[in-house]
Structure 1
Amino acid sequence: MAFYAPMKAPDHPVPSGDRRIGRGLMAALETAGFTVELACRFRAWEGQGDPARQARLRRAGLWLAEHLAASFVRRPAAERPRLWFTYHLYHKAPDWLGLAVSARLGIPYAVAEASRALKQADGPWSDGFAAADAAMARADRVFAMTARGARGVAPVVGNRLVRLAPFLADDPVACDPEGADRAAARAALAAALGLDPDRRWLVTVAMMRPGDKVASFQALARALRGLDGPPWSLLVAGDGRARPEVETAFAGLPVVFLGALEETALSRLYAAGDLFVWPGLKEGYGMVFLEAQAHGLPVVACDSGGVADVVHEGQGGRLVPPDSPEAFAHAVRDELADDAARAAHGRQARAMVAAHHDLARAAETLGSALHPLL
């Protein structure tokens, strides 16, 4: 199988949820029985609405498609891809490669996490919107990872649509039925950072970039300013060029900024925390919510974007309206006030991820939809 991600290659050097999802899909496809080859690292994304740059990217993509197809044709038949799989195409990152290559080779074409915003049909990314629509219309399978995404693409895709639940592919703690040793993780982090272990530790993990991420940080700060009850500290993992804005939003609050953490340190942070808090405004769904719950952290989030697909109300999660900092603070206060209930909610969250969002389930969905195409 040839695999391609026009938004960001799975081996891109900058960590992100998008990169992690791409890697997870490759792992799930391997688990489903495919040999997966990263076909190209060409990034088709254009975020400014610049028609000249979009035209250049289109020309480059089509040129690459022609040469990539020719290189596959020169291979022995047994070494050519039998299926093309594109992850995350939309108006800002259309797939200029997959349709052309799959047509030249005469192989099926599948896409995952395509999105469709009708307001872009006549906007500055209208060409990308049309290209993404054409890809979905001709794809043999289209995998939607959220209910919102499925509703958006259904008019173009019809019965070729397959629901694929978001999943974790590479979290060793999530695969351990006993979970992390929370007391040991907490003691180690308190010693390393000089934290007070008697305070409640709120945890959030996010990139600090302009737009929806900064808006979520600002919403979180507004909510926490109204939080009373047991003493608490917020531990923030993440960094980015908008960090000054984020730090300004939390001025005067008990916040510890940890910077960007590698995966082992991030796992220790989840294991040591008491509650994961992140509004997640307009998130596609948010891998961090699955990561936190897999480590036994209950979650308070906003019912925005696709968050409800990974944070299930009453199963270790609390969802509140996105425009109510008071409701967010009230949900956090409730969780912090009852240690036994919070621990039970963490166990529920962990069980929910294990039951609905694991690698094996994703591989079964992908395999059952794709193998009949071959």
Structure 2
Amino acid sequence: MRVGLTLYGSLDERSGGFRYDRKLVEGLRAAGDTVEVVELQWRAYPRGLLDNASPSLRDRLRVDVDVMLQDELAHPSLVLANRGLPYPIVSVVHHLRASEPRRLSPLYRAVERRYLATVDGVVCNSGATRDAVAALGVDPDETVVAPPAGDRFDPAIDGDAVAARAASLGEIGEESGAGDGASVADPAPAPLRVAFVGNVEPRKGLDTLVEGVSRADAAVDLTVVGRPVDESHVADVRRLVGERGLGDRVRFAGRLSDDALADVLRESHVLAVPSRYEGFGIVYLEGMSFGLPAIASRAGGANETVTDGETGVLVDPDDPAAVARALDEFAADPDRTAEMGRAARRRYERHPGWTESTGRVRRLLADVADAGDGVDAIDTEVAT
């Protein structure tokens, strides 16, 4: 097949959605398909809607393919432009903007409903995403669920390594100096080491996590790994860290290389990303590859990976008290933390790989392309 992929930005971006698109392209090419990538400029929402009146955009989109994949995040620039394109379209939905708790969600819902009416099929990364798409009028028979693999690192972690890491929670640290040669009489147990991984923006719930750390009875060291996307939110979180007296407990590491991020995950006890919404949440699966139980949100598709009480803990969005309870439970019971870590690793090992997910997408693309050929043939007969 001759396949296209239209998306905002560059296919080389490092976030989970871009990795999904990139692995999909690699899989299609490995299967013998040609893939032409159309990279559009990132747009603010209103500016993206104005793109639909641009003749130059329509010219860029008129490529010679049998079927076009579109990353749904680019829908503002495509909602009207799609109607004049000469090929069938399959949208890749990581999560709908309308699913996020935003002030303008009704507007996003209306625009996304109209955009989805222009496509011939939808690739969803989770069952929750498929349900959200169906709620906007898409026939479930025109969708396929193709979850991302979590094999970004695929470390060699066994049950013994997971147990040894959890056992460090019960270890007593070295006595620290208290001035004038004195020492602390009762040094505290080693802290619970928690990793947050994700773009630093309101949806990811870092503010909820920091507040949960401040309310926990246990000592918690939090490492924040991720690109600061919303500078105002970053400033709010840093201010919260200061107000709660957590300056020596929260470290902002910024964006890290894969090797450096792997080191953080390997040394952590828990991955905590209590998002306000996740279409899938590939980060939870990547943490599970290291045997890390997760603290994740009930909102969206995280519960398809994180089983509450087995591979992690699910909390409601904006519930720092629940986050604090989860942190205290992990810190207080190393054996339970180890068992959940082993279960998390087993969950990772049985998750579908990219080959299986790409195969599901290819079958949908072939069906849509074949149906499009049939429509073209009918149109030709009518015209003659």
TM tier, smaller: 0.7 to 0.9
**Conservation of the 8 A alpha-carbon contact between 1:116 and 1:152:** no
**Conservation of the 8 A alpha-carbon contact between 1:121 and 1:129:** no
**Conservation of the 8 A alpha-carbon contact between 1:3 and 1:39:** yes
**Conservation of the 8 A alpha-carbon contact between 1:165 and 1:362:** yes
| Among 194, 202, 221, the residue aligned to 2:194 | 202
**Conservation of the 8 A alpha-carbon contact between 2:51 and 2:57:** no
1:341 paired with 2:332, answer no
| Among 107, 112, 137, the residue aligned to 1:156 | 137
Q: How do residues 22-41 of structure 1 correspond to structure 2 at under 5 angstroms?
A: 22-30=21-29, 33-41=31-39
In the aligned structure 2, how far is the partner of 1:37 from the partner of 1:275? 39
Give the equivalent residue in structure 2 for 1:249. 240
1:64 paired with 2:31, answer no
Q: TM-score, normalised by structure 1?
A: 0.76
Deviations 1:320-373 (A, max 9, x none): 222432222112211222222212211211221221243233123223333444
In the aligned structure 2, how far is the partner of 1:315 from the partner of 1:350? 11
Closer, same or farther: CA 94–67 of 1 in aligned 2, 3 Å: closer
Q: CA deviation at 1:160?
A: 0.9
Q: How do residues 243-322 of structure 1 correspond to structure 2 at under 5 angstroms?
A: 243-251=234-242, 252-253=245-246, 254-322=249-317
Q: CA deviation at 1:203?
A: 1.0
**Conservation of the 8 A alpha-carbon contact between 2:157 and 2:291:** no
1:225 paired with 2:214, answer yes
- Secondary structure in 1 matching 2:107: coil
Give the equivalent residue in structure 1 for 2:68. 84
In the aligned structure 1, how far is the partner of 2:69 from the partner of 2:159? 34
Question: Which structure 2 segments of 5+ residues have no match?
Answer: 169-187, 371-384
1:145 paired with 2:125, answer yes
In the aligned structure 2, how far is the partner of 1:349 from the partner of 1:220? 21
Deviations 1:267-314 (A, max 9, x none): 111111111112111233322212111221110122123322332224
Give the equivalent residue in structure 2 for 1:19. 18
In the aligned structure 2, how far is the partner of 1:288 from the partner of 1:329? 21
1:10 paired with 2:11, answer yes
In the aligned structure 1, how far is the partner of 2:359 from the partner of 2:159? 24
Give the equivalent residue in structure 2 for 1:76. none
In the aligned structure 2, how far is the partner of 1:19 from the partner of 1:96? 24
- Secondary structure in 2 matching 1:6: strand
In the aligned structure 2, how far is the partner of 1:333 from the partner of 1:164? 35
AA in 1 matched with 2:138 = V
AA in 1 matched with 2:225 = A
Deviations 1:153-190 (A, max 9, x none): 225321212222233354342xx575996779xx9xxx
Larger displacement relative to structure 2 (15-24 or 336-345): 15-24
Give the fraction of aligned pairs with identical amino acids, expressed as a percent: 22
Give the equivalent residue in structure 2 for 1:190. none
Q: TM-score, normalised by structure 2?
A: 0.74
AA in 1 matched with 2:208 = A
Deviations 1:257-276 (A, max 9, x none): 21211111111111111111
| Among 215, 236, 241, the residue aligned to 2:224 | 236
Q: How do residues 161-180 of structure 1 correspond to structure 2 at under 5 angstroms?
A: 161-168=143-150, 170-173=152-155, 176=156, 178=158
Closer, same or farther: CA 177–325 of 1 in aligned 2, 3 Å: closer
**Conservation of the 8 A alpha-carbon contact between 2:306 and 2:313:** yes
In the aligned structure 2, how far is the partner of 1:38 from the partner of 1:135? 21
Closer, same or farther: CA 109–197 of 1 in aligned 2, 3 Å: farther
**Conservation of the 8 A alpha-carbon contact between 2:151 and 2:286:** no
Q: Which runs of 4+ in 1 moved over 4 A?
A: 95-101, 118-122, 176-184
In the aligned structure 1, how far is the partner of 2:336 from the partner of 2:80? 51
Closer, same or farther: CA 148–280 of 1 in aligned 2, 3 Å: same
Q: CA deviation at 1:16?
A: 2.4
**Conservation of the 8 A alpha-carbon contact between 2:98 and 2:109:** no
In the aligned structure 1, how far is the partner of 2:257 from the partner of 2:146? 27
Closer, same or farther: CA 86–320 of 1 in aligned 2, 3 Å: same
Q: CA deviation at 1:45?
A: 3.7
- Matched residue pairs, number? 335
Closer, same or farther: CA 351–65 of 1 in aligned 2, 3 Å: farther
Q: CA deviation at 1:131?
A: 4.6
Q: CA deviation at 1:25?
A: 2.5
In the aligned structure 1, how far is the partner of 2:154 from the partner of 2:272? 22
In the aligned structure 1, how far is the partner of 2:237 from the partner of 2:307? 28
- Secondary structure in 1 matching 2:222: strand
**Conservation of the 8 A alpha-carbon contact between 1:221 and 1:250:** yes
Give the equivalent residue in structure 1 for 2:91. 111
Closer, same or farther: CA 357–311 of 1 in aligned 2, 3 Å: farther
- Secondary structure in 2 matching 1:258: strand
In the aligned structure 2, how far is the partner of 1:42 from the partner of 1:180? 47
Q: CA deviation at 1:225?
A: 1.5
